[in-house]
Amino acid sequence: MDIQKTAIVTGAFGGIGTAIVQSLVENHFFVIAVASQRRTQADFDQWLNEANINPKQVQAVFLDVTDTQACKQALDLLIEEHQHIDVLVNNAGITRDSTFKKMSFEQWREVIDTNLNSLFNMTQPLFAHMCVQKQGRIINISSVNGQKGQFGQANYAAAKAGMIGFSKSLAYEGARAGVTVNVVAPGYTETPMVAAMKPEVLDNIRGQVPMQRLATPEEVAKAVRFLASDDAAYITGETLALNGGLYMN
């Protein structure tokens, strides 16, 4: 098989991350699957098997995306190893929901660190490299709740909205070099993150979505794949919403 391009995907073992990796691999990418430092080689082997991914097209890197120094070191090594890295998908994310009155600084900090500061940590070492190679795609996974806000998610919405401002700003800086920076903003998606919610809360969410259903991880992955493709070469600074009509910007 002719593998043409290399992509880095963070949060690769998660619900949406797995679908993104599968989709890019199907499209002949070589994928560097970034999993958290909590994961092991055994987890990687199990994930490959369960997700039915060709091991020849994927390499695992175990990395805490909140650790600035570790990200820089890992990315410098990856650039040296692969020479050409075409796509970065910043997908790692967490929630620590609480009403703001009860929110601890730790809940705020963890969410900002993982969802927003990770963008600095993962993108900065790679961005200059992409500008020199005069080609690159940075795709950041935000959320409908970063666009519209959400009760009990002041931390998460702040981080996810921050991703949008970051992407628009970096789009200016990358434009001349052909480095595009875009956002995919999914609505509620059928993943373990959402499965952890109470059934009555989920029913309520479904009821609010004009399409009356959640997104599938595959639908999110298709949007990412499009933005990573040659067809999206002239799209930058854009936020592609996938929310079944829940929020129309």
The residues that touch ligand NDP, with contacts defined as CB under 6 A, are: 10-11, 13-17, 35-36, 38-39, 64-66, 91-94, 114, 141, 143, 186, 188-189, 191-194
Q: How far is the CB of 192 from ligand NDP (least distance, A)?
A: 5
* CA gap 79, 83 in Å, rounded: 5
Q: How far is the CB of 171 from ligand NDP (least distance, A)?
A: 19
Is 15 or 136 the residue whose CB approaches ligand NDP more closely?
15
Is 11 or 136 the residue whose CB approaches ligand NDP more closely?
11
Read off the DSSP letter of residue 245: T
Is 194 or 235 the residue whose CB approaches ligand NDP more closely?
194
Is 156 an annotated catalytic residue?
Answer: yes
Helix, strand, or coil here: 239?
strand
**Secondary structure string (H, E, C) spanning 19-58:** HHHHHHHHCCEEEEEEECCCCCHHHHHHHHHHHCCCHHHE
Instruction: Say if residue 196 is exposed, middle or buried (CB neighbours under 10 Å; 0-12, 13-18, 19+).
Output: exposed
Catalytic residue (choose from 156, 172, 188, 234): 156
Q: How far is the CB of 81 from ligand NDP (least distance, A)?
A: 20
Is 182 or 189 the residue whose CB approaches ligand NDP more closely?
189
- CA distances (Å), 99 to each of 2, 103, 119, 186, 200, in order? 50, 6, 25, 22, 19
> Angle 118-133/154-175 helices, nearest 10 degrees?
10
Q: How far is the CB of 190 from ligand NDP (least distance, A)?
A: 7
Catalytic residues: 156
